[in-house]
């Protein structure tokens, strides 16, 4: 039985298009329904003591989709930022957007900056990954660490796991505990590759617009039913747990 706390959940929100097709609606309707789902899942995660929720909203590979769909997705992202930032702030949630912003329009970049400025405080954090890729994140971290050494900001040294970790997009956040993917696919699609090294993976056939508070709670319950060993044996983990209980 896992007795650790659960502080950071990430979700690959898959299945919007399939949900829309099943409902006899256009694909954008699925994405709109998916945006509406964020509020409920965030609230459910906070009730379970999760301080950080990271959502994969737009991957670096999503630019390959039909231009009309890309435009619609980015439009929904813009609308979400404009509509939700103040409410997040009022609820005590900090907003972070991670990813490569260089391909976004000036208006969208401005909306991101403004939303982050509005919802800049809070005990909990909502992270939206937009134009994000795990490989990009690792390369950026390595480049930033190298640049810091060249500028004399940190001592010259070989790149290490600890150093790379300090420069990833999520360096200031709790380690990733649980990675959820909706929609039935069983892959992580270049999402949080570095951070997911020891995360628990949870796949559900539910399409993202169907993934509600009950589904989130089922994933959390499953997490607490697992034993996280981090390379150790079950016997070692059990011995440490017993030692902590007797102390």
> Among candidates 131, 122, 70, 65, which has minimal Cα distance to 97?
131
Marked catalytic residue, from 62, 100, 190, 217: 62
Q: Rounded CA gap, 214 and 41, in Å? A: 9
> Among candidates 93, 99, 95, which has minimal Cα distance to 169?
99
- DSSP code for 197: G
Q: Rounded CA gap, 37 and 221, in Å? A: 20
DSSP state string for 65-110: S-HHHHHHHHHHHHHHHHHHHHHHHHTTEEEEEES--TTS-HHHHH
62 is catalytic: yes
Cβ-based neighbours of 24, under 8 Å, separated by 6 or more? none
Do 85 and 95 meet the contact criterion of CB atoms below 8 Å apart? yes
14 is catalytic: yes
Marked catalytic residue, from 14, 124, 131, 137: 14
Hey, what are 199's tokens? 């995360």
Question: Which amino acids are annotated catalytic?
Answer: 14, 62
């Amino acid at each position: 039985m896992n007795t650790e706390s659960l502080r950071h959940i990430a979700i690959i929100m898959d299945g919007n298009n399939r949900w829309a097709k099943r409902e006899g609606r256009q694909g954008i309707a699925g994405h709109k329904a998916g945006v509406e789902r964020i509020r409920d899942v965030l609230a459910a995660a906070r009730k379970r003591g999760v301080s950080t929720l990271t959502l994969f909203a737009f991957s670096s590979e999503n630019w390959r989709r039909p231009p009309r769909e890309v435009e619609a997705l980015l439009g929904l992202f813009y609308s979400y930022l404009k509509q939700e930032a103040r409410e997040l702030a009022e609820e005590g949630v900090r907003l972070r957007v991670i990813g490569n912003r260089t391909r976004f329009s000036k208006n969208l970049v401005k909306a991101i900056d403004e939303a982050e400025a509005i919802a800049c405080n809070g005990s909990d954090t909502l992270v939206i990954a937009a134009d994000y890729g795990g490989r990009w994140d690792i390369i950026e971290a390595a480049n930033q660490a190298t640049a810091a050494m060249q500028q004399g900001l940190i001592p010259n040294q070989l790149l290490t796991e600890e150093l790379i970790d300090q420069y990833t997009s999520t360096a200031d956040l709790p380690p990733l505990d649980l990675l959820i993917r909706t929609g039935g696919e069983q892959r992580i699609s270049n999402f949080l590759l570095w951070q997911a090294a020891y995360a628990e993976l949870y796949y559900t056939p539910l399409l993202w617009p169907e993934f509600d508070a009950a589904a989130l709670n089922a994933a959390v319950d499953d997490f607490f039913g697992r034993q996280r060993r981090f390379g150790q044996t079950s016997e070692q983990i059990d011995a440490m747990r017993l030692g902590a209980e007797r102390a």
